[in-house]
Every structure is written in C-alpha cells, then in structure tokens.
A and B are shown apart, each in its own frame.
Chain A
Amino acid sequence: MKHLLLYSLTNRTELLKMKRLKEDSQLVGNVLLEIGSMLMSSGASTHRTRLTMERIAKGLGYGIELLITQRALMLTITEKDQQHFFSRLKRISPHGVNFRIVSGISHLSWNVREENWSVAQITEELHRLKSLPHYPRLVVLGLVGLAGAAFCNIFGGGAIEMTVAFVATVAGLFIRQEAMKKKFNPYLCVFFAAFTATLIAGLAEHFQIGKEPDKALATSVLFLVPGIPLINSVTDLMDGNIQNGMVRAMNGLMIAFSIAMGLFAAKMILNF
C-alpha cells in the first residue's frame, strides 16, 4: 500500500514536470516566432533572422529547426534531453521597414546569451520595442524631401530644380502615407505616390520653371526606389537562400513597375 502511494506520488510529480516542460517549450516557441516575424517584417535578411533566433534559442537552452519564407515562419523547438517538441507556423504580417526593432532585437539576443535573460524579460523587452515611437511625421516629410532635393543635386540640377524636387517628393510621400493609412494595396500606394510626384514635377516642366526641369522630374520619384528589397535580395542570394532572394527581387521589380506606371499615367495626362 505504502509502495503504491509512493509510486503514484512520484508518477504525479513526473507528470507535472512533463507538463511544465511542455508549457515551457510552447512559451519559448511562441516568443521565438514573434521575434522572427518582427525581424522579417522590419527588413532584416533571412540569414540574420535565422542567426538571431538560433542564438536566442541556444541561450534559453533549446534547439530549433527553422523554415523561413517571405510570408510565413515555421519552427520546431526541442529541448536538449527531452522527447518533447513543439511546432508552429506563424504568418509574417508586412509592417514596413523599422530598423529600431532590428537593432533592439540584436541587443536582446546578446543579452539572452550573455546575461541569461528569462522568457519574461524577453517578452517585456519585445513589448517595449513595439511601442518605440517613429520619428514625427513632419520630420520624416521634411528630411525625405531634402533627400529628393539631394538626388536632384547629384544628377546636376540647380537650386530651382532642387526646390521642385523637394516639393514633389514631400507631396508624393504625403500621398503614400495617407494611402497606407487607408490600407490600399502597397503597390497601389506606390503608384499614387509616383503619380503625384511626377504630376507636380511635370507641371514645373510644363511651365518651364528652371533650366533643366527634366532632372527634377527624374529625381522626384527616387524616394520610392525599393532599396531594401533589392539589396536584401542580393544578400539572400549570396547566402544561398535562393528562394527568398527571388521573392524579394520580384517584389522590388513590382515596386519599380508601379513607379513606372505612375510616371506613365502622369506623363500621359500632361501630354494630352
């Protein structure tokens, strides 16, 4: 009788321990997927995402296997000496580039590895990173407008052309932000922005403002150039993540095509 009681007691603690382990690996798996999807949507390359997730998992004492695609993450997490594993698929929602998150998660991964952060600390830090502010809208508009003027200068435009490029870029970016807020298709947002910018720069060309108005026209859409998809695509291809690289390249080409369509539409209206 006594033996039986003892047996059932140990069995019960075993069961409890197993249950706890299972819950732990679920918790860790969900946190890792969250980290991975945040990284992918804020503009990190595939290799960096994989490296960071593996580093954090190792720091917490788990092994992981990963499948990373552009729109979804698949993760299997196993404990070192246990039979338990946990698998989950998570969609990656496109949010737009945010290097503050990339930088913050990089710090976080080193903290996990060197200062043995717990899962609770990681979740807290992720909340903090998500709530970090963007730059004020006016600052963004002004500085991106300056970037447009800078492009115009690089291509040999004078002060008047630079002003035209500044105004066109600010208007284009403003339209893009508004379209993003209204949740239009992202390529359509780019189209609207390119259309607005070209229309303004084209009007300047129409009324012969400045010496070389075509330079302002060509540089007013450069703020839309898909730099991150294209550069990340080459990085991914170099790392051997051919599939992701091709997807990113195609995405970049689609954006370039939307810019061209916006340009084309505005030019047609102006030549009419």
Chain B
Amino acid sequence: MILLDILSKSFWAGIAAIGFAILFNVPRRTIFSIWGLGALGGLIKFSAMYFEIGIVLASFMGATVIGIISIKMAHLRKSPPLVFSIPSVIPMVPGFFAYKMMLGLIALTSIENTDAYLQTLIETVNNGAKMMFILISLGIGVAIPMLLTRKESIKKSKFNKTKKVVA
C-alpha cells in the first residue's frame, strides 16, 4: 500500500516535470526522458523520506541521481544536461515551504499578541530555513555531477581530437 502510494506520487512528479519542460520549450525528443528522470527523482526522494531521512537530504539524493543520469541522457538524446536536469528537479523545489514562509512573514506584520507572534516567528523561520537548504541541496545536487564530469568531458574531447589528427 505504501509502495503503491510512493509509486503513484513519483508518477505524478514525472507529470509535473513534463509540465515545466513544455513551459521551457524543450526539444520534443527529450520529453519522455524528462518524465522518467522526474519520476525517478521523486521515487528516490519519497522512499528516502519513508525511511525517515530528512527532507533536505532526501531532496539532495534525488537531485544528485537526476544530475548523474542527465549527463548520460545528454549523450543519448543529444542535448545539454541542463535541459534534462532542471525540469525534472523542479517538482522538488520547495514551493510549499516558500508559500508558508511568505504567509508567515505577512502575518508577522499584523500580530499584536506576543505569544502568537513568537509562535508564528518560529514557524516562519523553520519554513524559511527548510526552503533555503532544500534549494541549496537541489542546486548542488544538480551541479556536482556536472562539475565533476565537465573536466572529464573536456579532456575526453581533447583526447578524441588528437587521436583523430593522428589517424
């Protein structure tokens, strides 16, 4: 039952990724891979959260896997990695926490009671911190594989070029 729940959520995460992909006008040949990547990222994130790993680390794991596979996909589908990684990571962007934080900030302008003020302040800071760290972990998760392989791919291409010249 839980497995089914996680799977259905991942399926919908993939659909959300496609929505953003269309909004960003990606080439048609990449759409199906973006759905797969979005669903895979969701699957990893939701399973990690099921095993009581915090949402920040879970998002980081999902984003890293997406980043690594999007480089493979870039070779297969002949488009740069960011075309795959950004739309499929966006369903994990913490919009809900950002929404809560903004509502909290707005509420803070009008609360008079000290206790209620403190309570709202605590919740707002908590939501804001979660949002910020999830965002950073998403950005780094997507960027780290790119940073790691960028050097490699440049070297590789140079290597290829010298080989071609020799041949």
Contacts and interface: CB of A to CB of B under 8 A. Distances in A.
A binds B: yes
B111 interface: no
Interface in A230-272: 230-231, 233-235, 237-239, 256-257, 259-260, 263-264
B117 interface: no
The majority secondary structure among interface residues of chain B is: helix
B61 to A, nearest CB: 16
A221 B95 CA distance: 9
B50 to A, nearest CB: 14
Interface string B8-28: 110011011111111111110
Given A148-B19, A225-B93, A228-B24, A103 B79 contact: yes
Contact of A97 (B13, B24, B140): B24
A45 B83 CA distance: 12
A238 B143 CA distance: 8
A147 B139 contact: no
B58 interface: no
Contacts of B103: 260, 263
| B9, B16, B143, B147: residue with the most chain A Cβ atoms closer than 10 Å | B16
Contacts of B53: none
Nearest to B99: A218
A223 interface: yes
A44 B118 CA distance: 42
Contact of A235 (B15, B16, B139): B139
Contacts of B15: 146-147, 149-150
B106 interface: yes
A119 interface: no
Interface stretch (A14-22, A66-74, A81-89, A136-144): A136-144
A151 B105 CA distance: 24
Given A146-B15, A147-B18, A99 B25 contact: yes
A154 B139 contact: no
B94 to A, nearest CB: 9
Interface residues of B, number: 46
B19 A234 contact: no
A48 B25 contact: no
A231 B86 contact: yes
A26 interface: no
A134 interface: yes
B9 A135 contact: no
Contacts of A30: none
A107 B25 contact: no
B121 interface: no
Interface of B: 8-9, 12-13, 15-27, 30, 42, 78-80, 82-83, 86, 89-91, 93, 95-96, 98-99, 102-103, 105-106, 135-136, 138-140, 142-143, 146-147
Given A45-B82, A234-B135, 13 more contacts: A97-B23, A99-B25, A102-B83, A103-B30, A135-B25, A140-B23, A144-B20, A151-B95, A221-B99, A227-B90, A231-B138, A231-B139, A234-B136
4 nearest interchain CB pairs?
A234-B139, A147-B19, A260-B102, A150-B12
Interface of A: 43-45, 48, 97-100, 102-103, 106-107, 134-135, 139-140, 143-151, 153-155, 218-219, 221-223, 225, 227-228, 230-231, 233-235, 237-239, 256-257, 259-260, 263-264
